[in-house]
Amino acid sequence: MQNKWQLKPMVSADFFKANFEYDKIISQLLFNRGLIEKKNIELFFNPSKADLADPFLFKDMRAAVDLVIKHIRAQNSIVIYGDYDADGVTSSAVLVEVLKILKAKIGVYIPGRITEGYGLNKKAIDSLAQDGVKLIITVDNGIRNQEEVAYAKSLGLDIIITDHHEPPPDKKSWPDCLIINPKADYNYPYRFLAGVGVAFKLAKAIIETSKLAENLKLRLEEKILDLVAIGTVADMVSLLGENRILVSLGLKTINQRQRLGVNELIKAAKINANGDKEIKAWQIGWQIGPRLNSAGRMDHANTAYELLITKDKEEAKQIAVKLNEKNQARQKLTEEIFEAAKKIVEAKMLDDKILVVVCPDLSETDNRPWPEGVMGLVAGRLCEAYSRPALVITKFDKEIKGSGRSIDEFNIIKAVEKLSDNLNKFGGHPAACGFTLKSWEDLAKFTEKIKALAKKELAGVEITPKILVDAEIELAEINDQLVNNLEKFEPYGEENEKPKFLSRGLTIMDKTSMGLTGQHIKFRFGAFQAVGFNQAEKFKDLKIGDQVDMVYYLEFNEFNGRKSVQMKIVDMRKNEL
């Protein structure tokens, strides 16, 4: 299926006039990101710690800090109750690291993805209560655990929820405890923090209230910003606003190479092997984050957590190697299941507005189910491949579980919430969800209802793979200054993706294969080289002299001490005008 190239709306003349200090291309990029006001543009280009919102704007923050300090002074046992993804383990590490410095009696509990599932559960609460825990602080979970919070309180435990997921629409269904969640608290001005961002806000508030010397407060806060950057990028939240500031600051901390575990993971993954280049946000998203996530997907997230907090270099090295191996196994398994799921889709679902793929023969007790840990990844691959929402459903023990990923036009968590009568548990974001069905009989009802819902909501929506293009430009507009200005848009991520450009009517002046097996391709257009990684087969029929239209990124290529502008191909087709 050919990709549809969709140009973003052109910058308005009024905007360009009001921001005359920026050229046409940069103005277009700012406009595309919704950066209209001068103060927001200034904040975007100069992210500063001074512009972070006061954590005490959260209405429950003062009470939460006072409760934490009360338990520290009493030397009561405090447990951080985490989650099994990169956001959850970094959130856990942030609070444990800070509370240890403040002499808290602190521990961590991260539930097993397969054995316990997401969020608080009564069995874990029982165990913690029996161990003498007096305060539970959740990170990256808990906003939908009203019943479990009530149970914990009935056992005499105090509890603080820190989360960033959508709360139940009815406030009567919220947990009855202190809640730090920007989506549940309109006093706080920025709604899009990751779980680790919320944990950082609590940590910062505790640090500010502590009796540490001011220089120590500053050092402690800066020390944990690497974790904040990793969790924020890995959780794919917006990288505009406050998240941009946190990630920018955190990348500086990462590149100071202070955390043993992160350093060893960089080495094990062969990221920046020579150690002479800065780690950037895309390397967190594509290389560091997936390796941390592989622990919870393939085994238990405690492994990733231990990597982040260890002070032993040899232990860090061993864990990093182990996570790298788990990630390789995860990649292989995901690919195998994705191929199997594609066959199911191609056989009977190409007309469906939402893909609901169930592990084959799931009802047979002797069938080996697809592992739950990679269901979200497979759903994401299907969503991307077919440009429509996708749910992938498997079984663990007697439970039937699913993960979903969606497109902009279909809010998957709202859809799932409407079908809660068929579910025991669910949670997520507009673009991603997880759920557990009540029974085998509920699977058929749930599938029928969500297909009907998607059919209604996506009626008239064109379901084709889209490539959003920031601006159409001429080759004559490309120069070193433009690429230097583009680098000021980093760190790239959600809602601030690396800009894609479109140029039409380019004449191929040279064509070269690259790579051990010739899997890569390089073209020359005028003075510029354009590289297509793993795209040699796709563009094999194009020849010198052909005129093409191309969507691409712009970047600097450094080779043998020489720096030159390079085009990185996203998509290309013959010019038909």
| CATH 3.10.310.30 residue window(s) in the chain | 349-457
Distance (Å, rounded) from C-alpha 567 to C-alpha 102? 50
- Whether the CB-CB separation of 299 and 372 falls below 8 Å is answered with no
Residue 399 pLDDT level (bands cut at 50, 70, 90): confident
Across the chain, mean pLDDT equals: 93
Give the residue-averaged pLDDT of 70-75: 98
| Residue 1: pLDDT band with limits 50, 70, 90 | low
Query: What pTM value is reported for the model?
Result: 0.90
- Percent pLDDT > 70 in the chain is 97
366 pLDDT band, cuts 50/70/90, is very low
- Tell me, what's the pLDDT at 44? 95
Fold of 51-225: inorganic pyrophosphatase (n-terminal core) (3.90.1640)
Q: Which of 317-321, 426-430, 505-509 has the lowest mean pLDDT?
A: 426-430
| Closest by Cα among 256, 304, 248 to 281 | 248
pLDDT (average), residues 439-443: 89
* Cβ atoms 198, 164 nearer than 8 A: yes
| DSSP-derived secondary structure for 293-350 | HHHHHHS-THHHHHHHH---HHHHHHHHHHHHHHHHHHHHHHHHHHHHHHHHHHHHTT
Q: What pLDDT does residue 121 have?
A: 95
**DSSP 3-state assignment of 127?**
helix
Task: For residue range 165-176, list pLDDT tens digits in order.
Answer: 989 989 999 999
Which residue spans of the chain are classified as CATH 3.90.1640.30? 51-225
Q: What is the DSSP letter of 369?
A: P
CATH tag for 469-574 (out of 3.40.50.720, 1.10.510.10, 2.40.50.140, 2.40.50.460): 2.40.50.460
Average pLDDT over residues 478-506: 96
**Sorting pLDDT into bands at 50, 70 and 90, what band is 18?**
confident
CATH of 349-457, one of 3.10.310.30, 3.30.70.330, 3.30.450.20, 3.40.50.300: 3.10.310.30
**Stretch 216-231: mean pLDDT:** 96
Kindly state the DSSP code that residue 183 receives in the 8-state scheme: T
CATH 2.40.50.460 in the chain, residue ranges: 469-574
User: Among residues of the chain, what percentage have pLDDT more than 90?
Assistant: 80
Asked whether residue 483 carries a pLDDT value surpassing 50, the answer given is: yes
Task: Measure the CA–CA gap between 174 and 503, rounded to whole angstroms.
Answer: 51
Q: What is the pLDDT of residue 362?
A: 55
Q: Give tens-digit pLDDT for 109-161.
A: 999 987 888 899 999 999 999 999 999 999 999 999 999 999 999 999 999 99
Sort strands 158-162 and 133-139 into parallel, antiparallel or unpaired.
parallel
Asked if the model's pLDDT at residue 389 lies above 80, the reply is: yes
